[in-house]
Structure 1
Amino acid sequence: MGLKRKLLGVTTGAMLLCSMIGGSVLAAGHVTTGGNLQIEKDVVLDGGSIVPNQKFSFKIEPLDVQPNTKENNLEVKKGKELQGADAIQSGQFDKDTQTTDEGGKKVAKDTTAQFDFSGVQFEHNKPAIYRYKVSENAGQGTGMSYDNTKYQLDVYVDKDGNPTSLVAKKLNDQNQAEGEKVPLKFVNTYKTESLTVEKNVTGASGETEKAFEFHITVKENDSLKNGSAIQAKLHKAGTQTEDVQIVVGTEATFSLKSGEKLVVPELPKDTDYTLYETEHGQNGYTTTVTVNDQNKDNADTNREYKVVENTNKVVFTNNRDEITPTGILLNVAPYAAGVILAAFAAVLFLAKKRRNRRA
């Protein structure tokens, strides 16, 4: 008798579960109960730890279904058109966003992008599965690579038109679901580079111990906002270093002697910046500028630069060859003048003597 009661209880529980999802039983895995969809967003920080100042958006759209398609004993239908599902916003990524260490890199995480299917008018009187496609809207964020993964999202609806569960699988290029149930997650990569500004002084009369003044302005973009601070490092002779703060959108001034360099970290690819030396081509120096070992023409007036992938090295070289000391010319000048006057007097004397002989 006790065994019968236990079996009856198990059977009743199974029937109740089946009725909740329209007579189907979902296998274990990543299944969201109810109709509130949550989209996970990760940004891998490739090259640093500064979180880009960006938001991301996602799109949910109806996915075409072949006629008479069934899964788990339920009819599968093309999803209903949704209002406000073409640009579902993530939270704001910035310096306050939580990060974790994964695989030797920092990863910024957000889970605030959501869509509630309970407000969608699904058909009544017949349980069904409504199928959608979920993707990320690719943006133009500086230094950002966007996730192009597409997901199939099945919304299980009961006979009263209420969503009971959500199931996601990855889609292939033919819009066909593959693999197991997965969480709905998009992972972007934010790649940053380092900029090195180096100073060299050459020539017989080059001043290797003189500090030459420079000016740099990092311009605002989608990832770097005006007013945000970047901690650069000035490398002096030996192992000495000095911190230099660069504020985005504001000109910063620093000085370099020959052999010294400034390293600016975590600049996203395609970041624009201006850079120039105050004494470019002055005081007898010939100034040349190279960018990644390539000469930059008109660097005194063309002060615009752009961060590229991998290597960003700008070298300013001031060359001044030996100059004849001006003091020597001043010392010789009186003697030279005397010689010229004596020669002129001799010419006059000889000319007068000739005239006297003729007379």
Structure 2
Amino acid sequence: MKKYRITAAAAAMALSAAMMTTFTAGAATTYTPVAGGETEFDKYLVMDEGANVPNVTFEYTITAGTAQPFSEGGKTIAVYAGPDPDKIVFSGTDITDETTTDAKFEIEFAQGDTTTLAAAVTDSDQVKNLDSGEKYAKKTATLDFSAVTFDEPGIYRYIITETNSAKQGIVYDSDLTRVLDVYVEDITGTDGTPTLQVAAYILHATEEATISLSDAYGSDGNVFNKPTDPEAPTVDPTAPTTAEDLDYKSQGFTNEYTSYDLVFSKAVSGNQASKDKYFEFTVTIENAVPGTQFDVSYQDDNNAATTDGDADKTIAANPNSATTVLGDGATQPDFITVGDNGTVTKKFYLQHGQKIAIRGLAEGTKYTIVDGKEDYKPSYATDDEKDTTTDKLDTAKNTAGIEQDVKVDFTNTRDGQIPTGIILSVAAPAVIGIITLAGISVLVYRNRRRETEED
């Protein structure tokens, strides 16, 4: 079985002169119906470089497209509705087609999937809206038409539709449909036996895409779509097709995963505050996708596209006399993984002037950060507009769902005053001591002088 890949080059294949519009789909002929082969399309999931691939499944259906009539004035060739969409079988890595007769299938992405940086993208990957500082994961779905037969030359249209299931953090394409055209042509040989061949599979980005007519009244391999909006400028349908008109081919579907970074920092102030003391923080993540992994940063990774922390990842046991929470020491985690209930809780440790960054929280994820203030007076400031704590003391909380990169700065204050009226100041005892020594010296001097005079 010959396999045809959906590429822009395939669109340049012209149907033979035998592919005349005098044929009608389903008319009686002497052709032996020809079975389809295989083709592919790609699915891309775009995300920030600092985010990990989420656990998410995308659902699709394939249906027969709408037939389009031949138009000599509009220079378009007829398109037929594709037969038997329920007989198309889907396969590939992380592609699920549990019931091969329902024209539905799923594409799954998961934690640990391979990603490609935007800086390394190649022309073979047609990723929409890919910006610097982003990366993408890719899946390829194979469509098997071997159970589908075509009995006439022509162009047969199918519609592939992605379901908008409102998955957390996922931005869906504004156009959830792609059009798959199957080109069938006559290849009758010199023996005169009518023979058909599936020549190409072309994927378009819009259902309204039309196929331009060649001088021989077959397809000229071009796809175009003149404006149909009544508010649009009048277009002469016989005018030459421009490059913009032809820009309707597609390689597949692209979705974006929207995520944000959470940074929390520590500072202490006051004449009794310890600058080398470690404080414990308890971070709870809720309403997250189960199994999602969030990377934790403790230092600059020299990547301008990621958010960095600045803290000690490894802390020795009993690091200083002021620290009471690290008797056994600690190695802080490189990442945290969300549990089956969508929640995870971890403890972290910070000294004065340090910060930790948790990367890649999906939009809508909730968080709580509790500062182990001990005998310090707590307070914090945050740029999170969805922070739901009113007093801004030792607990920062967002119960509405994160919608931006967030920074929470905790400050603990510890001030002490020396009691008055009981203990003298340091200066007073010093002066008294000097006076006492001076008095003793004078007495010793007088005694020696008296003894000398008596002698």
Q: TM-score range by the shorter chain?
A: 0.5 to 0.7
Structure 1 residues 271 and 87: CA distance shift in structure 2, 3 A: farther
Aligned: 1:225 with 2:291: yes
Deviation at 1:164, TM superposition (A): 4.5
Correspondent of 1:274 among 360, 368, 374: 368
SS at 2:146 equivalent? helix
2:255 aligned with 1:188, yes or no?
yes
Aligned-pair identity in percent equals 25
Gaps of 5+ in 1: 1-16, 25-32, 333-359
Deviation at 1:156, TM superposition (A): 2.9
Deviations for 1:100-134, whole angstroms, at most 9, x for unmatched residues? 523644332221x2322332365x4x333222223
Distance 1:310 1:67 in 2: 49
2:296–2:356 contact (8 Å) kept in structure 1: no
Aligned residues: 293
Q: Tell me the amino acid that sits aligned with residue 186 of structure 1.
A: F
- Are 2:136 and 1:136 aligned? no
* In structure 1, C-alpha distance between the alignment counterparts of 2:84 and 2:394, rounded to whole Å: 56
Matched to 2:82, the amino acid is G
Supply the distance in 2 between the matched residues of 1:119 and 1:162 (Cα, whole angstroms): 15
Q: Distance in 2 between matches of 1:293 and 1:110?
A: 35
**2:267 is the counterpart of 1:200:** yes
1:319–1:130 distance in 2 versus 1, CA, 3 Å: same
What is the alpha-carbon distance in structure 1 between the residues aligned to residue 358 and residue 291 of structure 2? 16
Write out aligned runs for 1:53-132 (5 A). Answer: 53-67=55-69, 75-80=78-83, 82-83=85-86, 87-100=104-117, 101-102=120-121, 104=132, 105-111=134-140, 113-120=141-148, 122=150, 124=151, 126-132=152-158
Structure-2 residue corresponding to 1:145: 171
Letter of the structure 2 residue corresponding to residue 168 of structure 1: L
Q: What is the aligned partner in structure 2 of residue 18 from structure 1?
A: 16
Distance 1:116 1:315, change over 3 A: same
Match of 2:312 in 1: 242
Contact kept, 8 Å, 1:193 with 1:309, in 2: the verdict is: yes
Secondary structure of the residue aligned to 1:41 is: strand
SS at match of 2:347: strand
In structure 2, the residue matched to 1:305 is: 398
Per the TM alignment, residue 66 of structure 1 is displaced from its structure 2 partner at its CA by: 4.1
Shift of residue 312, structure 1, vs aligned partner: 0.4
Matches within 5 A, 1:29-48: 34-48=36-50
Structure whose residues are more often helix by fraction: 1
CA separation in 2, counterparts of 1:160 and 1:79? Answer: 19
Please state how far the C-alpha of 1:72 moved relative to its aligned partner.
10
- The change in CA–CA distance for 1:73 and 1:157 in structure 2 (over 3 A counts) is farther
Q: TM-score, normalised by structure 2?
A: 0.53
Deviation at 1:313, TM superposition (A): 0.6
Question: What SS does the corresponding residue of 1:90 show, helix, strand or coil?
Answer: strand
Q: Aligned AA for 1:99?
A: T
How far apart, in 1, do the equivalents of 2:383 and 2:202 lie?
50
Letter in 2 for 1:18: S
Structure having the higher strand fraction is: 1
- Partners of 1:77 and 1:162 in 2: CA distance: 16
State which of 137, 140, 165 in structure 1 corresponds to 2:200: 165
Seen in structure 2, the aligned counterparts of structure 1 residues 85 and 134 have a Cα distance that, compared at 3 Å, is farther
The residue that corresponds to 2:277 in the other structure is: 210
Judged with a 3 Å threshold, the aligned counterparts in structure 2 of structure 1 residues 135 and 160 are, in CA distance, closer, same or farther, namely farther
Structure 1 residues 240, 168: CA separation in 2 closer, same or farther (over 3 Å shift)? closer
1:286 aligns with 377
Quote how far apart the aligned CAs of 1:59 are.
3.0
Q: Is the Cα contact below 8 Å between 1:197 and 1:262 reproduced in 2?
A: yes
Partner of 1:347: none
**1-side partners of 2:422 and 2:111: how far apart?**
66
1:45 Cα deviation (Å)? 2.7
Instruction: Report the CA distance between 1:225 and its aligned residue.
Output: 1.3
Could you say what the CA RMSD is over the residues aligned between the two structures, in angstroms? 4.1
Contact 1:74 1:128 in 2 (8 A): no
User: Are the counterparts in 1 of residues 384 and 406 from structure 2 also a CA contact under 8 Å?
Assistant: no
> Aligned partner of 2:57: which letter?
K
Shift of 1:203: 3.8
Larger deviation: 255-264 or 213-222? Answer: 213-222
**In the aligned structure 1, how far is the partner of 2:65 from the partner of 2:345?**
51
Deviation at 1:255, TM superposition (A): 1.6
Structure 1 Cα separation of the partners of residues 49 and 272 of structure 2: 41
